[in-house]
Amino acid sequence: MRNIKIKILIIMSDKLEFTQEVQEIARFSKALSHPVRVYILQKLSKMDSCCYSGDLVEELPVGRSTLSQHLKELKYAGLIQGEINPPYIKYCINRENWDNAKKVLEDFLNDNQSADFSCDNVKTIVHT
């Protein structure tokens, strides 16, 4: 049986705290958790320049306010950046954070490959 690395928690007193790496994984995963956001990232990652939000709203089956929320989530994750040029906002991939997300997610997936056993063989541990 091979060892599985788990870098999820740091135990401090009686409380658990998530590492920065785990928080990044969660933030990036949340950003990737909706098809509209995945589409936006695919489109922006293939472009040599930025894209206006108005162009995106014409392509996607969502309203302007819904698109705005998806863009906000991607910005919060740091995967895109926006530039306001009233009355327009243009968006592009934040290359530095994009590269970091690729590395963090790749490391996580490589370090935590599923083991060769089924859940039938797992014993339940009860914490008291």
Cβ–Cβ < 8 Å for 70, 34 = yes
Comparing 76 with 13, the larger pLDDT belongs to: 76
In this prediction, residue 93 has a pLDDT band, given cuts at 50, 70 and 90, of very high
Using the predicted structure, report yes or no on whether residue 3 has a pLDDT greater than 60: no
Cβ–Cβ < 8 Å for 93, 44 = yes
Give the per-residue pLDDT at 43: 95
- Percentage of residues in the chain with pLDDT exceeding 90? 62
Check: pTM over 0.85? Answer yes or no: no
Tell me the per-residue pLDDT of 106-127, one tens digit each, with 9 for 90 and over. 999 998 877 666 666 666 666 6
Report in angstroms the alpha-carbon separations of 115 from 3, 7, 8, 21.
9, 16, 17, 22
**Domain 20-104 annotated CATH 1.10.10.10:** yes
Tell me the per-residue pLDDT of 37-64, one tens digit each, with 9 for 90 and over. 999 999 999 998 899 999 999 999 999 9
Whole-angstrom Cα distance, residue 96 to residue 111? 22
Give the per-residue pLDDT at 16: 78
